Amino acid sequence: MKNPRAFFLPRVLAVLCLAALAGYGCAVNPVTGKSELSIVKFSEEEEVALGAQAFQPAVQEQGGFYKDRELEEYVQGVGMRIARASHRPGLKYQFRVLNSSVPNAFAVPGGFIVINRGLLVTLESEAEMAAVLAHETGHVTAKHSLAAYQRAVAGNVLLSGVSIVTGGNMAAQALGNVTANLLQSGFSREQEREADALGIDYMVKAGYSPEGMIRLQEFFWTKLEGGKDPAWIEGIFRTHPFSKERLENTRAKVAKDYPSTLKDPRYTLNEAPFKQGTARLREVQKAYDVAGQGDKLLKEKKYDEALAKYREAARMQPAQAPFYSSAAQVHMVRKESDAAEENLRKAVSLDGEYFEPRLLLGAVRYQKKDYRGAIPELEKSMDLMPTKEAATMLSNSYAALGDKAKAKKYADMVK
């Protein structure tokens, strides 16, 4: 028998909207024009605040931000050009670059949008980058994450008897859980189609040629059709279901709504400015490719070869913190604590806003029983990304120093 929850829930949601059961109801989404569940009401300020709470752990879990001010300004500028053309131009959007080789992009409620380094280096024009950012902006303006939250609440209310949580930290946690699930499993195919259509509208209104969206999706199709690169399968295709249908829908929409733009010089691809704006990133990516070879060797427990690759990457691009963190992990496996600490101090000095090198540095000092030296790094790692590992080491460190109150505080976080 099919999953009864999967069979029952869509019908329950339909009844909710039609009958407004138990005082709950539906509302028309002003962006998509569709009737949607509206059990929990969010003001725009609440949406932004909850999105901000979900954004930091999502970024930390996936590599932290890529450190390049000029590139950040370039991406933010293109993103804001799109945002001003959207249905919700008043949001305080952030368009950031994630320091991950996985080709992907994501958005959370309130206008927090990320494109991964690994996707950015594969693009060929500013219009293609604009297409990615416009698609993600469509998810934000259409409130796709909040729609998923509403469905989750409805499922809990009607199928599990769980009462609705409408505010405070629990609402933030609930929305954070929904957002985390979306980052892992992606939006629905219908929502992806909606974001495509909105993205085309936004980029054309912003002065970009919709050919950028067509080229982007043609490129995606070649990657999907090839099906041999796990980075793409585990990256954008896992969280953004793609199909030949989406490509054909995009071609059809452009042919129907914007045929004149394809030969109109006012609607740009901006290939040369994009190549110039991302030239530095493309050079740095060569070192990340070398470090990626080290990652494979590390998984194979070929520690000497892995360490050599990380050192080579660091020589190529000495300002990239992850290379030193990776080298430190090899040293930690080999119980070379002094070498590990040296590399981790370098990583922290280059990027003190990413939790992993802080956590590892704290762990190295903890293993040396340097509890006073471990605590600041572990606490900073907890500020950036709470983990049970850090909380456990902090509890034990404070206990060793005789501070029972703080030892209990962190022990409680592990439960």
Name which residue leads in pLDDT, 111 or 166.
Answer: 111
112-116/105-108 β-pairing: antiparallel
Least confident of 21-25, 294-298, 321-325: 21-25
Position 164 scores a pLDDT of: 39
Position 53 scores a pLDDT of: 86
Q: What is the mean pLDDT of residues 170-199?
A: 70
In a domain, 38, yes or no: no
Within 10 angstroms of residue 234's Cβ, the number of other Cβ atoms is 13
Q: Provide, rounded to the nearest whole percent, the portion of the chain with pLDDT above 90.
A: 68
Residues 285 and 230 in one domain: no
Name which residue leads in pLDDT, 192 or 150.
Answer: 192
pLDDT above 60: residue 160: no
Q: What are 335's strand-pairing partners?
A: none
> Which DSSP string corresponds to 8-40?
HHHHHHHHHHHH-GGG--EEE-TTT--EEE-SS
CA dihedral 169, 185, 139, 194 (to 10 degrees): -140
Domain boundary among 275, 292, 325: 275
In a domain, 76, yes or no: yes
Q: Which residues contact 360 (CB under 8 A, 6 or more apart)?
A: 325, 328, 329, 332, 340, 344
Name which residue leads in pLDDT, 106 or 157.
Answer: 106
Residues 200 and 288 in one domain: no
Domain boundary among 227, 244, 275: 275
pLDDT above 90: residue 117: yes
Q: Which residues contact 126 (CB under 8 A, 6 or more apart)?
A: 78, 208, 212, 268, 269, 270, 271, 273, 274, 277
Residues 268 and 407 in one domain: no
In a domain, 119, yes or no: yes
Residues 215 and 364 in one domain: no
In the structure encoding, which two tokens stand for residue 236, read together? 């954008």
Question: Domain residues for 327?
Answer: 279-414
In a domain, 1, yes or no: no
d(CA 78, CA 186): 24
CA distances from 339 to 304, 307, 324 (A): 14, 12, 10
CA distances from 4 to 7, 45, 157, 158, 374 (A): 5, 37, 16, 13, 50
Residues 267 and 287 in one domain: no
Residues 285 and 202 in one domain: no
Residues 116 and 257 in one domain: yes
d(CA 58, CA 60): 6
Give the helix, strand, coil percentages of the chain, each rounded to 5: 70, 5, 25
35-37/94-98 β-pairing: unpaired
Q: Which residues contact 53 (CB under 8 A, 6 or more apart)?
A: 172, 175, 176
With bands split at pLDDT 50, 70 and 90, how would you rate the model's confidence at 167? Answer: very low
Residues 135 and 261 in one domain: yes
> Which DSSP string corresponds to 168-227?
HHHHHHHHHHHHHHHHHH---HHHHHHHHHHHHHHHHHTTB-THHHHHHHHHHHHHHHH-
- The position carrying tokens 């992907």 is 104
pLDDT above 60: residue 35: no
In a domain, 294, yes or no: yes
Residues 359 and 304 in one domain: yes
Position 321 scores a pLDDT of: 98
Residues 225 and 302 in one domain: no
In a domain, 328, yes or no: yes
Position 185 scores a pLDDT of: 53
Residues 194 and 284 in one domain: no
d(CA 355, CA 362): 11
Residues 198 and 293 in one domain: no
How many separate domains does the chain show? 2
d(CA 82, CA 129): 11
With bands split at pLDDT 50, 70 and 90, how would you rate the model's confidence at 139? Answer: very high
Angle at 50 between CA 27 and CA 199, to 5 degrees: 60
- The position carrying tokens 């989404």 is 29
Q: What is the pTM of this model?
A: 0.85
Domain boundary among 275, 294, 314: 275
In a domain, 9, yes or no: no
pLDDT above 50: residue 17: no
Name which residue leads in pLDDT, 176 or 117.
Answer: 117
Q: What is the mean pLDDT of residues 372-392?
A: 97
Query: What is the tens place of the pLDDT at every residue in 308-359?
Result: 999 999 999 999 999 999 999 999 999 999 999 999 999 999 999 999 999 9
Q: What is the mean pLDDT of residues 210-224?
A: 92
Across all residues in the chain, what is the average pLDDT?
85
Q: Provide, rounded to the nearest whole percent, the portion of the chain with pLDDT above 70.
A: 78
CATH code, domain carrying 360 = 1.25.40.10
Query: What is the tens place of the pLDDT at every residue in 75-110?
Result: 999 999 999 999 999 999 999 999 999 999 999 889
d(CA 95, CA 263): 29
With bands split at pLDDT 50, 70 and 90, how would you rate the model's confidence at 396? Answer: very high
In a domain, 197, yes or no: yes
